[in-house]
C-alpha cells in the first residue's frame, strides 16, 4: 500500500491507525513499487519504468536496437489479415502485454500499444513489426515518465478525440482522451469503440 499525504503528521496518524487494525510494516519513503521507479524532490515526484523497459528490451532481443523517432505511423492502420502469421504468437502476446504495463508511466505509447493489442488473437508479421517499432521508440526515450507535482490551479481539463471508421476490418472508430488536474496528467486512454459510428460527429 502506498500512502501520500499533505503533511508528515497526517501520514503518521494514518499509519498509527492502520497499525491498530492490521500487522503492517512501514517501509519508509517510496522509491520503487511494482516496476515503477519513484524519484522524489522537494516539489514533485517523477515516475518512470526505465529498469522495466531495459528488461523488456532484453526479453525481446532488442537491447542494441536503433531508436525510432515515433512509436507508430498513424496514417495507415493494419488489417487483422495482412501478411503471414508470426512464428510464435505467445511471444507476441507476452511482449505486447508487457508494453501495456509500460503505459502506466508512458501515455505517449498508449495509442500504439492499443493498436498492437487489437491483434493478440492472430498476430501477423506486420503486427510484430509494429511492436518492434514501439520498442525502438521506447529505447530512445527511456528518460521519459510522469511528473506529479502540487498545482496552484486545481482545475480539471479534459481533451478527447476520435477518428471515424478507422479500423480497416470492422469500420469502428478509435477514441482517445487525457485528463489533467492543473498541469498534471492524471488519466488517459486509447480504445476502439464498441459500435460502428454513422458519422464523424457520432464518433466524437
pLDDT at residue 146 is higher than 80: yes
In a 13 Å sphere around the CA of 54, the CA atoms on its Cβ side amount to 9
Closest CA relative to residue 28, chosen from 3, 56, 55: 3
Q: 109-123, 124-138, 169-183 — which is least confidently predicted?
A: 169-183
Strand order in the sheet with 174-181: 156-162, 174-181, 184-192
What secondary structure letter does DSSP report for 67?
P
Alpha carbon distance 197, 53 (integer Å): 37
Greater model confidence, 128 or 6 = 128
pLDDT at residue 6 is higher than 80: no
What's the rounded mean pLDDT across residues 104-111? 93
Q: Residue 38 pairs with which residues in a beta bridge? A: 47
pLDDT of residue 111: 92
> Each residue of 61-97: pLDDT tens digit?
999 999 999 998 877 688 888 889 899 999 999 999 9
**pLDDT range class, residue 140, cuts 50, 70, 90:** very high
Alpha carbon distance 63, 75 (integer Å): 28
Interacting residues of 4 by C-beta distance below 8 A, sequence separation 6+: none
pLDDT of residue 11: 87
Q: Are 128 and 96 in contact (CB under 8 A)?
A: no
- Domain boundary assignment for the chain: 1-30, 46-139, 150-203
pLDDT of residue 89: 93
Amino acid at each position: 500500500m502506498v500512502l501520500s499525504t499533505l503533511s508528515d503528521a497526517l501520514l503518521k496518524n494514518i499509519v498509527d491507525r492502520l497499525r491498530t487494525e492490521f500487522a503492517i510494516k512501514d517501509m519508509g519513503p517510496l522509491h520503487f513499487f511494482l516496476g515503477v521507479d519513484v524519484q522524489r524532490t522537494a516539489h514533485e515526484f517523477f515516475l518512470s519504468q526505465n529498469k522495466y523497459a531495459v528488461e523488456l528490451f532484453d526479453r525481446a532481443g532488442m537491447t542494441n536496437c536503433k531508436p525510432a523517432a515515433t512509436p507508430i505511423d498513424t496514417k495507415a492502420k493494419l488489417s487483422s489479415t495482412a501478411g503471414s502469421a508470426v512464428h510464435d504468437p505467445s511471444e507476441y502476446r507476452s511482449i505486447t502485454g508487457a508494453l501495456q504495463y509500460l503505459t502506466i508511466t508512458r501515455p505517449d505509447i498508449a495509442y500504439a500499444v492499443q493498436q498492437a493489442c487489437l491483434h493478440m488473437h492472430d498476430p501477423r508479421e506486420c503486427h510484430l513489426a509494429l511492436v518492434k517499432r514501439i520498442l525502438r521508440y521506447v529505447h530512445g526515450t527511456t528518460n521519459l515518465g510522469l511528473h506529479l507535482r502540487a498545482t496552484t490551479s486545481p482545475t480539471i481539463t479534459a481533451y478527447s478525440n476520435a477518428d471515424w471508421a478507422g479500423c480497416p476490418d470492422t469500420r469502428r472508430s478509435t477514441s482517445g482522451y487525457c485528463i489533467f488536474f492543473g498541469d498534471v496528467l492524471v488519466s488517459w486512454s486509447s480504445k476502439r469503440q464498441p459500435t460502428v459510428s454513422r458519422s464523424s460527429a457520432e464518433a466524437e
